[in-house]
Amino acid sequence: MDKEQKEVTYINRLKVVLAEKHLTNKWLADKLGKDQGTVSKWCTNNMQPNLETLREIALCLDVNVTDLLWPTKE
């Protein structure tokens, strides 16, 4: 894999949860006071929010924090 190709590890389910709730990245960015580009990177799993921000996201979306994460064990 060369430098320009980065394997994405799916850690968060933010994009899925936003879609389930019929909400947009822009809506979440506005609610959190974050840049829309940052939220987009979270949704594509190119970057991850810290735990405090993940908690804020869960509160905004009215979900449990664990609903925002892909399980590590089935």
Cα-only R_g, the chain: 13
Residue with tokens 């949860």: 17
CB 41 within 8 A of CB 11: no
pLDDT reading at 33 higher than 80:
yes
Adjacent-strand bridge partners of 69: 12
pLDDT reading at 20 higher than 60:
yes
More confident residue, 2 or 33: 33
pLDDT reading at 58 higher than 80:
yes
Distance CA 74, CA 72 (A): 7
Going along the chain from its start, the domains and CATH numbers come out as 14-63 (1.10.260.40)
Q: What is the largest CA-CA distance in the chain?
A: 40
Confidence of residue 4 (pLDDT cuts 50, 70, 90): low
pLDDT reading at 27 higher than 90:
yes
pLDDT reading at 18 higher than 90:
yes
